[in-house]
Amino acid sequence: MTDLARKLAPFAAVAGAIVGLDQATKAWVRATLALYESRPVVEGLFHLTYLRNPGAAFSFLANQPESFRRPFFLVVTAVALTVILVVVARLPRGRPWTLAALSLVFGGAVGNLIDRVRWGEVVDFLDVFWRTHHWPPFNVADSAITVGMVLLIGEEIFGKKAGRRES
């Protein structure tokens, strides 16, 4: 097995699992809830609320015309996915956290890309709040991207510190 195949197998497994879980949960929400319907899971803290977000994180560019928004997000996502694949191919051995982080970001980006291609917007349904503090609704793909980015930042900060201590 080549070094690239050794990297791509776990990368593809994690990214594929994220895409599958993301699409399965979104299908369940679409089949179970009416648009804008909200069901409490933990009253006063967490609801399942079916929404569609035409923008990106925090509804970024949501008010732009679809003729701009859709191609913009498709191109940006395609470029990001390509960059991630190039980074994974060039990633040296011994970077499992970086590989895991990139697979989470990749899987999340593909999950949201599928929604954008199918409907021109992303299904969001995880609704977290406390009293008057309300986090924008999100989905499994968004969660994977966020966790992946936190892992990448942590690996960059703490991995370099650990490397400096060893030398």
Specify the DSSP class assigned to residue 77.
H
Q: What is the pLDDT of residues 71-116, one digit of tens each?
A: 888 899 999 999 999 999 999 888 889 999 999 999 999 999 999 9
Q: What is the pLDDT of residues 127-163, one digit of tens each?
A: 999 888 888 899 999 999 999 999 999 988 887 655 5
pTM given for the model: 0.87
Write down the pLDDT at residue 45.
93
Whether the predicted pLDDT of 49 surpasses 50: yes
Tell me whether residue 142 is one of the annotated catalytic residues.
yes
Delimit the domains of the chain by residue range: 3-166
Amino acid at position 28, single letter: W
Whether the predicted pLDDT of 120 surpasses 60: yes
Write down the pLDDT at residue 162.
54
Write down the pLDDT at residue 19.
98
Write down the pLDDT at residue 164.
40
Tell me whether residue 124 is one of the annotated catalytic residues.
yes
Strand order in the sheet with 133-134: 38-42, 46-53, 122-130, 133-134
Catalytic site residue from 22, 115, 124, 127: 124
Instruction: Write phi, then psi, for 42 (nearest 5 degrees).
Output: -130, 105
More confident residue, 56 or 83: 83
Task: Give the alpha-carbon dihedral of 130, 136, 138, 143, to 10 degrees.
Answer: -80
Assign 166 a pLDDT band (cuts: 50, 70, 90).
very low
Average pLDDT, the chain: 88
